[in-house]
Amino acid sequence: MSETLLNIMGALTVVNTVLVALIMYNFVQSYKAVKSRFTLGLLLFSSVLLVQVVFSLPVIVLSGIAYPPEAMIFDIIAGSFELVALLIFLRMAVK
């Protein structure tokens, strides 16, 4: 069960990373066209979000420290909410 939960956590992290990269790409294209401070702020915000997503990889599990399945479930729930939020954000950014 732990391995399955770890695979789910990894898949969520990869999907969230791709979504943030798409959001950043959209903001870079928008900044090239408009060059507004607001767009630059959104680009910086998405950059920080990308760093957060990359560092949210299951480092504790990979380091060999005991990581109970209950904690993994909470990480999966948090990652799922983040996925939904990023999908909404991407949809709004593309429009």
Give the residue, 4 or 48, on which the prediction is more confident. 48
pLDDT tens figures, 12-34: 988 999 999 999 999 999 999 98
pLDDT tens figures, 38-72: 999 999 999 999 998 888 776 655 665 667 788 88
DSSP string, 12-76: HHHHHHHHHHHHHHHHHHHHHHH--HHHHHHHHHHHHHHHHHHHTS-HHHHTT----HHHHHHHH
Q: Where are the domains of the chain?
A: 2-94
Q: In the predicted model, what is the mean pLDDT of residues 68-86?
A: 89
